A and B are shown apart, each in its own frame.
Chain A
């Protein structure tokens, strides 16, 4: 089985791109499954089911979805193997700009859209910086110049990645993307022993543990304070 992790900011076009890409795989007779990770809510599983794709979803609720992802990825892989998939794709909503679900030796795709603004690439951490492939969507609603500027910003942040434009509505570029995601020779059996590409921060303050009251005396553990002083002759 092949395994691909797809991540990216909310509504960047992940599902749209994955669905168009799956189209090409299905034409080639490959069995594809998707597992969607989100925080509170998602409808994506319905969309995947409609497309005839085996699908599972996991909601992380009170946890960072990426932490939740790592804690569950092995079970997800075993499910894919049991279902006899040729390709298993995970979709994660990149809700935490600090974390990313990418695992070493597993193809990592980041989906980001042209409308998110040219300063967005700089704001996204490992989710963009350590991806192998960066897909830029919604090129149909901006100018050639804006596409070029945006792609060059992405390239500056992650020069090692393959950067592609894919249109989530028409599927332009999706066939081409599919050729990068499936390798006949690849065969994932387990992820036990593999490592994350980048460590996830240890969030353990009192609020992580359910505290709701505001005030210094309720703050324990890993607490950090904002610097409110005016900078002098900076």
Chain B
């Protein structure tokens, strides 16, 4: 905990040295230091005591001091969080389905590097389950489920912090809206995560993204001109490597144009817990387990069997045939029975 008193009497130069991230705070708060870097913070902020200045800038000195100490406290906590004392597992405890009947699954523990799929008809409650996890439910959601983190009642701090959220989401709509090159985009994200070695992280992400994408792209490409597959590849690689969140929720992600198996391997390789709501049989069978949702409740938990895993190989072959047809039709070719190959 850093209090106002801890920072008030220090010079801005000293503060910047101890807390390099504080420069971002000054910038976002539109506080210009210019030649006053060696002044005490308290003296520097005195210009806000002037009533006219306070009115013009809509900032008050004590409010800025308080925000600043709160910000430093949060950032130190964010930086101090180690992978080791992070999330190793989450556990779902039963609640009720839409009819208010108790769920029958006992409890379900999901550990680091596991992939769990969520299947069930539209409207059955797949997204609700993902939302329960994101909120670290304490019987305070419509399902009355409880989510444990590392076998303990999850801390409510996960709910609101902007830096250290429990989950990152790969959503259905995968567009970029910022007007930046791939490099600038990754740099911006890395800076917001307070990454030290930005260059090597960017390097790692672009390599992995190209590994997932069908068509290659480089760091100078504007992100808004990436193809659907390239965007998804970049987002997955970026989330796997730069997001600090230990859990990745994937809600019915479109997956054309990327290597799905490699994408999941990448996420799991970064020690994430992956939960994926899907209607796609190939993705559903790539999971270690799948949760079947019916009428808002967890109806069954099924381990992917050896036989299903073997079937996956056939499914992928069928999928490859369909993909190949799509490409050829697009190019104006005529398709024949032999092309199907089985």
Contact surface of A with B, Cβ cutoff 8 Å = 27, 98, 114-115, 118, 121-122, 125-126, 129-130, 139-149, 151-160, 162-164, 170, 172-173, 175-176, 179, 198-199, 201-202
Contacts and interface: CB of A to CB of B under 8 A. Distances in A.
A176 B131 contact: yes
Given A139-B171, A173-B131, A152 B163 contact: yes
Interface stretch (B84-92, B234-242, B289-297, B322-330): B234-242
Contacts of B185: 145
Contact of A148 (B60, B160, B171, B189): B189
A98 B56 CA distance: 9
A138 to B, nearest CB: 9
Contacts of A143: 174-176, 231, 235, 238
B28 A153 contact: yes
B160 A163 contact: yes
A158 B74 contact: no
A144 B169 contact: yes
A145 B188 CA distance: 9
Contact of A149 (B127, B142, B172, B192): B192
A156 B174 contact: no
Interface in B213-238: 231, 235, 238
Looking at chain A's contact residues, the main secondary structure is helix
Interface in B58-85: 58-60, 63, 66-67, 70-71, 74
Contact of A144 (B58, B63, B239): B239
Given A179-B140, A201-B55, A156 B28 contact: yes
A144 B67 contact: no
Given A122-B27, A142-B177, A149-B192, 14 more contacts: A27-B142, A122-B28, A126-B58, A139-B171, A142-B175, A143-B176, A143-B231, A143-B238, A144-B235, A145-B239, A159-B70, A163-B160, A163-B162, A201-B55
Which of B66, B177, B193 has most A Cβ within 10 Å? B177
A37 to B, nearest CB: 19
Nearest to A100: B58
Contact of B189 (A27, A122, A149): A149
B74 A159 contact: yes
B127 A156 contact: no
Given A98-B58, A155-B163, A157-B29, A144 B168 contact: yes
Contact of A160 (B29, B66, B173, B193): B66
A154 B178 contact: no
A29 B188 CA distance: 45
A180 B122 CA distance: 29
Contact of B162 (A98, A122, A141, A152): A152
B178 A146 contact: yes
A129 B63 CA distance: 9
Interface in B247-278: none
B100 interface: no
Nearest to B141: A175
B189 A145 contact: yes
B121 interface: no
A125 B58 contact: yes
Nearest to A157: B28
B141 A141 contact: no
B312 interface: no
Contact of B58 (A146, A149, A176, A198): A198
The 6 closest A-B pairs by CB, nearest first: A125-B58, A155-B162, A159-B71, A151-B162, A162-B160, A152-B192
A143 B243 CA distance: 12
Contacts of B162: 151-152, 154-155, 163
A148 B192 CA distance: 8
B165 to A, nearest CB: 8
Contacts of B243: 144-145, 148
B25 interface: yes
B30 to A, nearest CB: 6
Interface string B17-40: 000000011011110000000000
Interface in B284-311: none
B91 to A, nearest CB: 20
Contacts of B186: 145
Interface string B119-161: 0000000010001000100001110000000000000000111
Nearest to A199: B55
A170 B56 CA distance: 39
B172 A140 contact: yes
A149 to B, nearest CB: 5
Contacts of B198: none
A127 B341 CA distance: 63
Interface string B40-65: 00000000000000011011100100
Nearest to A156: B28
Contacts of B238: 143-145
A174 to B, nearest CB: 10
A156 B58 contact: no
B198 to A, nearest CB: 14
Nearest to A142: B177
A173 B60 CA distance: 32
A41 to B, nearest CB: 27
Contact of B193 (A139, A148, A170): A148
Contacts of A27: 142
